Amino acid sequence: MSIQTPALEQVYDHLAETLDSIPESGRTPMLTRLALLMSEQIGQQDLICRLIDEAAFTD
């Protein structure tokens, strides 16, 4: 399942606005919680780990 570009742009905007509203010291914990919540929804360990690697090493 994939998300269409307009919806992906809305998700990006919402994430950016949310991060902007959080003090810098709270951004990493928020992103960690988000990743774990999304991981629960995805439910595929190998896919989740691949996505983490992709996010970390994409220029």
Give me the residue spans of the domains in the chain. Answer: 5-57
Measured distance between the N- and C-terminal CA atoms of the chain, rounded to whole angstroms: 24
Task: Answer positive or negative: Cα dihedral of 51, 15, 10, 13.
Answer: negative
**In the predicted structure, residue 29 carries a pLDDT above the cut 90:** yes
Confidence of residue 58 (pLDDT cuts 50, 70, 90): confident
pTM for this prediction? 0.82
